[in-house]
Amino acid sequence: MNIEDWKRQFLEHTEIERGRAVKTIENYDHYLSRFFDQMAIKEVSDITEEKVREFRLWLNRQQGVSGTMKRRTQNYYLIALRAFLKFLRKRGMDGLSPERIELAKVPERHLDLISPTELNRLLASAVGTDEKSLRDKAILELLFSTGLRVSELCSLNTDLDLSRDDFPIRGKGEKVRVVFLSDEAKTAVRAYLKARKDMDEALFVNIPPMPSKDPEKTSKRVPTRLTPRSVERMIKIYAAKAGITKKVTPHVMRHSFATDLLNNGADIRSVQQMLGHASITTTQIYTHVTDAHLREVHKKFHSRRQN
């Protein structure tokens, strides 16, 4: 088979057997196609260390949004190629060993965080008894209570069992994990559902404009499932209302969820499971934040030797 046939089999295997998201498959296709085109790869045997080195040099000289392409972005290409080579090895194909491809070192990831005081102001910023205010309050409380990704939040339906303190969610890679509901989150969701007038199955929907005097226009007020982009815009508005000058996104609230757990004594393995991280390495980015917290505790409370 030529390289395109192998790529097709790899993408199908990644989607079906490994259960990766469609967006991941699209990205892998893009990264591999760019490597094959740039390095004139026609057969598996064409993938050599020299070709990979030349491609890395080429990537490093490509222009990104601000200057040259970031190393983290360059690594995405290498990760896709390494996964492809592992697939070929399992199929009994001789070729470049995936272990020969090392990722570029990248700067330590910086977390966008808000302080506990800012978080409390954000959670308190959605006030009112109208349907939209109650919806927004429920979204904010649910994000902080569960640590859900915004896409996971938007996928929820109204059949959520609020008599329980937890519920299962299907996350990245179709993996199911359990997330937990605080009393505040349950109260906020109940209040919102009580105010709902529509029968849409989605838990969070766009609130249509107020009814028009025109019966025809009123009949077209059909709610639609809220999108991640809509939630991002909504949180941005409430952050400004709460007087927070930092950039606040649903993912920042996920960071707050994780750091709150760690700062209050949760072990990192438990936090990994609650976040749905496949690797503990991903969760360990939060330990730098808690390390800083521990330094402050040590500085404040550790007794000085008396002379």
Question: What is the spatial distance between Cα 125 and Cα 14, in angstroms, rounded to a whole number?
Answer: 43
Active site residue 89: no
Catalytic residue among 20, 149, 186, 255: 149
Active site residue 42: no
Active site residue 170: no
Active site residue 110: no
- Ramachandran assignment for 147, one of left (phi > 0), alpha (psi -120 to 50 degrees), beta (any other): left
Catalytic residue among 132, 177, 241, 251: 251
Q: Render the burial of 232-265: b for 16+ CB within 10 Å, e for the rest.
A: eebbeebbeebebeeebbbebbbbbbbbebbeee
Phi, then psi, of 116 in degrees rounded to 5: -55, -35
Cα four-point dihedral sign 103, 107, 108, 111: negative
Active site residue 293: no
Is residue 168 classed as helix, strand or coil in its secondary structure? strand
Active site residue 30: no
Tokens matching residue 263: 């700062």
Catalytic residue among 34, 172, 196, 225: 172
Catalytic residue among 28, 192, 238, 286: 286
Catalytic residue among 7, 20, 137, 254: 254
Question: What is the spatial distance between Cα 271 and Cα 109, in angstroms, rounded to a whole number?
Answer: 18
Catalytically active residues are: 149, 172, 251, 254, 277, 286
